[in-house]
Amino acid sequence: MRERNLSRRQLERFVSKPDSVEVSSKNSLRFLLKKRYRHRTSGKDHLLMAICERHGDVLVVVTIVDTSQIRKYS
């Protein structure tokens, strides 16, 4: 979260209301969340992606990717 300059609150909002959710074909407990947003400093549209796993009632964020190359990952 520090590398992406995201607060815990921002991440919680993103996880609770993503634009899309894709479930892994290899592991049904792992999924990809995607959300478009306008970057604060650059003013450009960005795509925030999070790879997550569900462990019971707990959602674990494995990694976060922030990119301006929206078409490449959409």
pLDDT digit string (tens) for the chain, length 74 residues: 667 677 788 888 888 999 999 999 999 999 999 999 888 888 899 999 999 999 999 999 999 999 999 999 87
Kindly state the tokens that stand for 32.
């990809």
What pLDDT is recorded for position 42? 85
Buried b (16+ CB within 10 A) or exposed e, 24-60: eeeeeebbbbbbeeeeeeeeeebbbbbbbeeeeeeee
Is 39 within a domain?
yes
Q: What are phi and psi of 51, to 5 degrees?
A: -90, 125
Is 42 within a domain?
yes
Total domain count, the chain:
1
What pLDDT is recorded for position 41? 83
Is 3 within a domain?
no
